[in-house]
């Protein structure tokens, strides 16, 4: 059973219960011996009686003793040892001198069940035990005497040996099965709460664990966890409010700067300022996009990806050309329908183009290609992306060059948007060198509704 693995709570509690049970049994035996034990009483040892009774056989229609089958203690018997045996078919056997007071019982021995006679005086004569053993031929009743035992320690050994087989071992086995099962059932709510904790998403506020599903002893831990989740959620909400507020506050100064830069004479200075301002505006939009994605405020609708790609290319083309690149756009004339948020998809294509402008090396061509099956690619002829970093660049705030420009959020947001649209984005090497980012979106082949 999986809940009996070392280190588990069930395993630990089961063994502790077993130790408690063993201690209680031992204390009970000691108490019984102190109350009912008699240091001076003589008795016939239980183990000795069993050994002698098992050595009796029925052979040739008579009772016989297999002396070789006796254990060492029984073989080393005193001269006063005696016994009488009888089966229920009339066979009898005696050995040694049976005391006068027990001779009348020999004839009645087949009718006597196990019994024990103890005495403080005349132990050799009066101490006697009747033992019954089961043979294939039937039950054999044996009366044994003449080898008395004395002492509390010997009595305790006999009781321990007897009780260990009938009480202690079954008790331990039952504990190993029942206790872990009972503990496991009692902790089922803990497993359910653990599954709830594993399902908590940081972007889903208000999630918590069911405090009624766990035992009262674990309630404070679950309640403290819920309080921690609430504090984390409140912290993220405050951060979201700050980011949204900062992004909105940036929009007005960016618009004013864009107007003033547009009034500057054409030249390298204006181009460089426009590119820097475009990055600043992109950061503000990325912050808003990140907040919208976290709160699932995007609107899904049918979008013509060919038209959207052409619109983004037209918006970004001045920046591409001013940065010294040539620009190529290859999109089909027929619509390429996809389903999603047009604003978010617009941000993906714009981010990839701005990424190409920033990392294309200020030379060569930036190209955009859209295929009818929903595969969109943006390529440049820069240094490219090392193969070892093609997964890391999609992590938030990751940059290939720590001193480079950009916020490190563009590709992360692009991946998040693609995942929410059921698509994918990957970086690979472009033909002839450079980087190529490939976006795959599922095409919506549902025919558009007819206009009324």
**Residues 204-239: tens digit of each pLDDT:** 666 678 777 777 777 788 888 888 888 887 887 787
Confidence of residue 424 (pLDDT cuts 50, 70, 90): very high
Chain centre distance of CA 302: 42
Determine the average pLDDT of the residues in 268-278: 78
Q: Kindly state the tokens that stand for 242.
A: 């700050």
Given this model, what pLDDT does residue 239 score?
A: 75
Q: Check residue 297 and report its DSSP letter.
A: -
**Would you list the domain boundaries of the chain?**
2-38+157-186, 46-150, 198-297, 299-452
Q: Residue 366: enclosing H or E segment and its boundaries?
A: strand 365-370
Q: In the predicted model, what is the mean pLDDT of the chain?
A: 80
Neighbouring-strand partners of residue 370: 376
* Three-state DSSP state, 432: coil
pTM, two decimals, is 0.49
CA distance 363 to 434: 11
Q: What string of DSSP letters covers 118-181?
A: -BSSSHHHH-EEEEEEEETTEEEEEEEES--B--HHHHHHHHHHHHIIIIIHHHHHHHHHHHHH
Q: What is the CATH number of domain 299-452?
A: 3.30.565.10
Task: State the Cα torsion 351-427-307-441 to the nearest 10°.
Answer: -120
Given this model, what pLDDT does residue 452 score?
A: 44
């Amino acid at each position: 059973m999986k809940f009996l693995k070392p280190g588990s709570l069930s395993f630990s509690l089961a063994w502790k219960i077993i130790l408690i049970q063993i201690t209680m049994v031992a204390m009970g035996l000691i108490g019984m011996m102190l109350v009912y034990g008699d240091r001076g009483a003589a008795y016939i040892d239980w183990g000795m009686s069993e050994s002698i009774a098992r050595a009796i056989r029925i052979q040739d229609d008579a009772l016989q003793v297999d002396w070789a089958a006796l254990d060492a203690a029984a073989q080393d018997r005193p001269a006063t040892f005696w016994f009488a045996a009888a089966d229920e078919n009339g066979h009898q056997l005696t050995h040694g001198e049976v005391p006068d007071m027990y001779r009348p019982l020999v004839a009645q021995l087949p009718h006597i069940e196990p019994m024990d006679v103890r005495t403080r005086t005349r132990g050799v004569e009066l101490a006697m035990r009747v033992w019954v053993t089961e043979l294939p031929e039937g039950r054999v009743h044996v009366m044994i005497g003449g080898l008395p035992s004395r002492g509390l320690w010997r009595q305790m050994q006999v009781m321990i040996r007897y009780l260990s087989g009938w009480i202690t071992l079954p008790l331990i086995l039952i504990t190993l099965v029942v206790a872990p099962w009972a503990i496991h059932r009692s902790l089922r709510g803990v497993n359910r709460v653990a599954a709830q904790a594993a399902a908590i998403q940081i972007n889903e506020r208000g999630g918590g664990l069911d405090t009624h599903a766990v035992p009262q002893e674990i309630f404070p831990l679950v309640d403290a966890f819920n309080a921690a989740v609430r504090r984390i959620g409140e912290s993220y909400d405050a951060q979201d409010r700050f980011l949204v507020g900062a992004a909105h506050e940036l929009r007005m100064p960016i618009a004013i700067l864009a107007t003033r830069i547009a009034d500057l004479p054409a030249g390298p200075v204006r181009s460089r300022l426009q590119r820097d301002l475009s990055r600043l505006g992109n950061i503000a939009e990325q912050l808003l996009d990140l907040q919208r994605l976290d709160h699932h405020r995007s609107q899904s609708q049918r979008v013509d990806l060919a038209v959207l790609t052409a619109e983004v290319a037209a918006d970004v083309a001045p920046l591409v050309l001013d940065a010294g690149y040539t620009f190529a756009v290859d999109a089909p004339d027929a619509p390429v329908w996809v389903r999603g948020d047009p604003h978010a998809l617009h941000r993906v294509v714009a981010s990839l183009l701005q990424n190409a402008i920033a990392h294309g090396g200020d030379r060569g061509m930036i190209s955009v290609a859209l295929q009818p099956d929903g595969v969109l690619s943006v390529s440049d002829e820069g240094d490219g992306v090392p193969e070892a970093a093609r997964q890391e660049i999609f992590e938030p705030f990751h940059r290939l060059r720590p001193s480079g420009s950009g916020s490190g959020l563009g590709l992360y947001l692009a991946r998040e948007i693609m995942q929410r649209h059921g698509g994918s984005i990957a970086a690979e090497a472009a033909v002839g060198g450079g980087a190529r980012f490939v976006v795959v979106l599922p095409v919506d082949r549902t025919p558009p509704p007819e206009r009324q």
